[in-house]
Amino acid sequence: MPSWDRGAFFDVDGTLVTTNVVDAYAHYVFNRGTVLGALGRIAHGIAMAPAWAVTDSLNRKVFNELFYRSYKGLSEDRLIELSEELAEKVLIPAIYPGAKDILDECRRAGCKIVFCTGAIDITMRPLARYLGADDLIANQLQFVEGFATGKVIPPIVEGAHKARRIRDYCVANGLKLDLSHAYSDSLSDYPMLAVVGRPNAVNPDRQLRSHARAYEWPILDLR
């Protein structure tokens, strides 16, 4: 087993792939198995889209809490089954052209590669396996008797909690935070980037690009 002294922590949506959590949810809904069930969830998604957009821009924690309520009633077994197809048909084709190159570069530099994402673990595991990630930090849905309750097991992986999870992960795994790297596309992940010694802005939004320039962080374009 490799002996690592540093980590490379990657946000996923917008950083390594062009897709986001809504794309994954749409795949689960369209392939749920019943036409009426799918139509009902699609209608719900359309109705909630404006609220999701507003909360996502204002408060990522509230967005996660609101968005994952849509999973209520979905079967854990069915989600796990569909996750492999989701990876094959949606996520893997959406990988940015330069994503594998930066991951390979991190491996050569001796980094332990960890995906740190607000997506759910069920969705991310096949993609993490495909891209060769060593570990995964992701949101976990709460299930009761095999069905999602619509709640996420706290703490929700976002913002300051991402930074805290990365710091705790480094302590638990003997990684040096000051030598570790972090990669994200969004200013919402500023805490995650600021907590490590080697932050990187990847395909950055306008606000993160401005911050990266001010702090002289590397700016990468994987597109």
152-174: pLDDT as tens digits: 999 889 889 999 999 999 999 99
Average pLDDT, the chain: 88
- The tokens of 117 are what? 């994402």
Largest CA distance in the chain: 52
Q: Given this model, what pLDDT does residue 36 score? A: 46
Q: Are 193 and 182 in contact (CB under 8 A)?
A: yes
User: pLDDT tens for residues 6-15?
Assistant: 999 999 999 9
Q: Given this model, what pLDDT does residue 213 score? A: 96
- Angle at which helix 60-67 crosses helix 159-173, to 10 degrees, equals 90
User: pLDDT tens for residues 104-136?
Assistant: 999 999 999 999 999 999 999 999 999 999 999
Instruction: State the pTM of this model.
Output: 0.88
- The tokens of 58 are what? 């204002």
In sign, the C-alpha dihedral spanning 87, 90, 92, 95 is: negative
Q: Given this model, what pLDDT does residue 29 score? A: 76
Please, what are the domains in the chain? 6-220 (3.40.50.1000)
Place of tokens 């913002």: 159
In sign, the C-alpha dihedral spanning 162, 163, 169, 170 is: positive
Nearest alpha carbon to residue 124 among 18, 52, 24: 24
- The tokens of 102 are what? 């930066």
User: pLDDT tens for residues 17-66?
Assistant: 999 888 888 888 777 655 445 555 555 555 555 655 556 565 666 677 77
Q: Given this model, what pLDDT does residue 35 score? A: 43
R_g over Cα of the chain: 17
Q: Given this model, what pLDDT does residue 66 score? A: 74
Q: Identify any residues that bridge with 9 across adjacent strands, giving them in sequence order.
A: 114, 182
- The tokens of 209 are what? 């690009």
